[in-house]
Amino acid sequence: MRDKLLFALGAFAIILLTRNIYVISGLPQEASQGAIFKIIFFHVPMAITALTCALVAFVASVLFLVTKNFVWDAAAVAVTEVGLAFLAGNLITGSIWGRIIWGIWWTWDARLTSALVCWLLYAGYLMLRRAIEEPTQRATFAAVFSIFAFIDVPIVIFSIKWWRTQHPQPVFWAGGSFPKDWSAVMGWNLLAIMALCAVMAAVRLRQEEAQREIDSLRRMAHAL
């Protein structure tokens, strides 16, 4: 049943993504930026998806520390790993847009730097997990680290408001003026990317469950 649901959600995400790519390719070019502007339809949903993953990881980490239930630890690691892949996509699409519009691949402004720090923090979270053998200690340290890493998420979001940055100001909030019909396309693409992320996180969660099963089988093998 769970497999069928995942398969259906995955198929829905891929069909919706294909439809969105077709719609986006048919949209007119932006007046001053040209075709490269269309990268925003992937850049922004990838960022929202990655930061939503960070939020879920934060909640799961808090719940693990409160309940000591390993399901929450598995959920935290699953969403963190998938979110990291989407954040990498976001950073790369942004860099390619910057090369055309700014003439540079990278600049150390507040938004870009805080997003890179966010990526490095969550990569550090995954490395920390590999470094600790004992499962309870690993899950506890990782949960504390994940809560600490989440501090960077509001900084990433509001950096363009708090500091003067080269990164553009928000187009969807704080007085942004993204065209309404384009916002609908953006919404559909966000839905598709979120669905894809949910499928990937669910598969990764299942793998964590399998890993726990392996750990318990190993303990049994040692006991025999």
Partner 1 sequence: MYALLLQTAEDVTRELVRLQRNYEFLSYGLIIAWVILVIYVLMMVQRERKLKREIASLKAMLEDRK
Question: Is 220 a residue that touches partner 1 (CB under 8 A)?
Answer: yes
Which residue of 92, 151, 174, 184 would you call a contact of partner 1, by CB under 8 A? Answer: 92
Residue number with CB closer to partner 1 (5 or 174): 5
**Stretch binding partner 1 (CB under 8 A), from 68-76, 89-97, 124-132, 178-186:** 89-97
Which residue of 86, 122, 150, 182 would you call a contact of partner 1, by CB under 8 A? Answer: 86
Helices (H), the chain: 2-26, 40-67, 70-101, 110-131, 135-149, 152-162, 180-223
Rounded to an integer, what distance in angstroms lies between the CA atom of residue 158 and that of residue 139?
A: 30
Evaluate whether 90 touches 122 at the Cβ level (below 8 Å).
Answer: no
27-to-34, 41, 43, 192 alpha-carbon distances in Å: 11, 11, 17, 18
Single-letter amino acid code for the residue at 114: S
56-85 binders of partner 1 (CB under 8 A): 82, 85
Question: Is 218 a residue that touches partner 1 (CB under 8 A)?
Answer: yes
Question: Is 221 a residue that touches partner 1 (CB under 8 A)?
Answer: yes
Evaluate whether 84 touches 149 at the Cβ level (below 8 Å).
Answer: no
Extract the tokens encoding 43: 């850049």
Which residue of 5, 8, 15, 214 would you call a contact of partner 1, by CB under 8 A? Answer: 214
Question: Is 176 a residue that touches partner 1 (CB under 8 A)?
Answer: no
Residue number with CB closer to partner 1 (4 or 164): 4
Extract the tokens encoding 156: 């990433």
Which residue of 62, 96, 132, 171 would you call a contact of partner 1, by CB under 8 A? Answer: 96
Question: Is 100 a residue that touches partner 1 (CB under 8 A)?
Answer: yes
Question: Is 211 a residue that touches partner 1 (CB under 8 A)?
Answer: yes
Extract the tokens encoding 34: 């040209």
Rounded to an integer, what distance in angstroms lies between the CA atom of residue 199 and that of residue 208?
A: 14
- With a CB cutoff of 8 Å and minimum separation 6, the contacts of 169 are 160, 161, 176
Question: Is 38 a residue that touches partner 1 (CB under 8 A)?
Answer: yes
Q: How far is the CB of 203 from partner 1 (least distance, A)?
A: 6
Evaluate whether 147 touches 125 at the Cβ level (below 8 Å).
Answer: no
Residue ranges in contact with partner 1 by CB under 8 A: 33-36, 38-39, 42-43, 46, 82, 85-86, 88-89, 92-93, 96-97, 99-100, 196, 200, 203-204, 207, 210-211, 213-214, 217-218, 220-221, 224
